[in-house]
Amino acid sequence: MEEWSLSNQAPFETEIAQLLVTTLNLKVEPAKIPPLDPLFGEGLGLDSIDALEIALVIHQNYGYKLRSDDPDNTTIFSSLRSLCEAIQKNRTK
């Protein structure tokens, strides 16, 4: 049975958290990123350079091309959980 991690991440959230930490060189344990905290601004402190890097790595790994005119866009980057939900909804691989 798959276990939920310390911060209540679902397994796919842990996978994406690991991807973010590796891609962006963050000094946090992936499993400790709270799934509902904001990714940008105060939360992980990501910036717009990171947004492009994240978009690229998500496209490469899951075939989903992010767009900013997506009506869901403000929600997509609001937290790890919403980002994961968007990837799962739109992934092609």
Partner 1 sequence: MTHSPFLGPYKPDSIVAWHQGKTISTQKLLTHVRTIRDQLPHKPYVINLCQDRYSFLVGFAAALCRNQTTLLPPNRSPDILQQLLSQYSDCYYLTDGHERIEGVEGLTLDLDINSDQAPMANPQFSNTHIAAIAFTSGTTGTPRPSQKSWGSMVQIAKKTAERLPISAKSPVTVVATVPHQHMYGLETSIMLPLQKGWCVYSERPFFPEDIVSVLHAQCSPRILVSTPIHLRSCVMTESKFPEVACTLSATAPLPQQLAKQVETLFRTTMIEIYGFAEAGTIATRRPVQEDSWTLLPELTLVSHTEGYAVSTPYFSNPVPIPDTIQSANPQQFSLEGRPSHLINIGGHRGSLDELNVQLLSIEGVVDGTFYMPEEKEESVTRLIAFVVAPEKTSEAIFAALRHKISRVFLPRPLYLVKALPRNPTGKLMQEDIETLLRTQHDLATTRDRRLVDDG
Q: Name which position in 4, 8, 11, 59 contacts partner 1 (CB under 8 A).
A: 59
Residues β-bridged to residue 40: 46
Q: Name which position in 15, 26, 43, 75 contacts partner 1 (CB under 8 A).
A: 26
Q: Name which position in 10, 12, 19, 53 contacts partner 1 (CB under 8 A).
A: 53
* Residue 69 engages partner 1 in binding (rule: CB under 8 A): yes
Residues β-bridged to residue 46: 40
Alpha-carbon distance of 16 to 12, in angstroms, equals 6
Query: What's the farthest any 2 CA atoms get from each other in the chain?
Result: 39
SS3 46: strand
Which parts of this chain interact with partner 1 (CB under 8 A)? 24-27, 29, 45, 47-49, 51-53, 55-56, 59-60, 65-69
